[in-house]
Chains A and B, each alone.
Chain A
């Protein structure tokens, strides 16, 4: 993951984290965008899994059954955000190819 991709993901995932906490209805669309942004990077498995959960469930619902799904989604986003933060801090060249091997 290069620095530009990493910073983009960090920004997107920060907004998503707050949307999850606030149970905002835009969480799903934002996760779909983040999944596209993460495609091909090492954060992809986590963001894509989170986006799948958001497609299958209304994460803004206040019902008890959704709470564990929302928590798992938060954890997946945290894994992706931390991965992206590390890439940003390590400072991979901003002009290097925008996709890495993933995984």
Chain B
């Protein structure tokens, strides 16, 4: 219910009815949905989500699969090793439901961490330039993206709250790593206008809808947009509402909406149909 357990929330039944009415009115196409943005574990800021709660939430909202990566939980060594291993275990427990991405700090044994994560089944990389305090054109970040790209992995990059100006660094990064496939989280709302302009000029940039701003989403080509909810920061009801409203405002076709909800992610991630 609104991303939270009913216990501890007063008047939960009435609130759940408001959520149900919202979802019922969306008129999104029937069919699979892939969420490309979910954090597992306990973040340094106190947010927490375990895989059982995520899968229950996915079941409630018809989400077939979710790209999962660690919360900001680098561990004492700063290399996310334990958190990545936990995501790998979650994926093993829920095959096909949890699509594991690993997370690294580019400055802390990134290559070694990715090698271990790949052996554990990771299929992508998550980078958070704000939490790990780096720029996308730092040499260590370029090296990490090149490593991921060499493995055939897409790279999901935090591009929302707290982001520095992104467009110039993204231009450098994509020049340095031809073939990189970058998913800019939160509709790149941290630098939306400049990044949208960049995306018109070059390939390799996608955007997720998690906690994105509607005016940013409707300016993007829907073929570059992927559904995301950002659990546990966001939740699935308003994440789906955002896609429905973007489709209405921008005039996306049903096929384009299906692409946003799952088709674009299937193609980018190489998921089984």
Contacts and interface: CB of A to CB of B under 8 A. Distances in A.
Interface of A: 45-46, 49, 52-53, 56-57, 65, 67-69, 71-72, 75-76, 78-79, 82-83, 85-86, 89-90, 103
Interface stretch (B65-73, B90-98, B145-153, B242-250): B242-250
Nearest to A57: B10
A85 B213 contact: yes
A72 B12 CA distance: 10
B119 interface: no
B238 A82 contact: yes
A74 B89 CA distance: 31
Contact of A65 (B8, B213, B218, B235): B8
Given A56-B10, A83-B245, A76 B213 contact: no
B249 A69 contact: no
B10 A53 contact: yes
Given A52-B11, A86-B214, A46 B18 contact: yes
Contact of A45 (B5, B9, B18): B18
B3 A86 contact: no
B47 to A, nearest CB: 9
A75 B245 contact: no
B9 to A, nearest CB: 5
Interface in B1-56: 1-5, 8-11, 14-15, 18, 21-22, 46
A75 B61 CA distance: 15
B215 A85 contact: yes
Contacts of B218: 89
Contacts of A82: 214, 238, 241-242, 245
Top 3 nearest A-B pairs by Cβ distance? Answer: A75-B2, A86-B245, A68-B4
B16 to A, nearest CB: 10
B237 interface: yes
22 contacts: A45-B21, A49-B18, A57-B10, A65-B8, A68-B5, A68-B9, A69-B8, A71-B3, A72-B3, A75-B237, A75-B238, A76-B2, A76-B18, A78-B238, A82-B214, A82-B241, A82-B242, A83-B245, A85-B215, A85-B245, A86-B249, A103-B21
Contact of A71 (B2, B21, B214): B2
A38 B211 CA distance: 22
Interface in B71-129: none
A89 B250 CA distance: 9
B9 A72 contact: yes
A75 B3 contact: yes
B241 A69 contact: no
A67 B232 CA distance: 12
A72 B2 contact: yes
Contacts of B3: 71-72, 75
Contacts of B242: 82
A49 B13 CA distance: 12
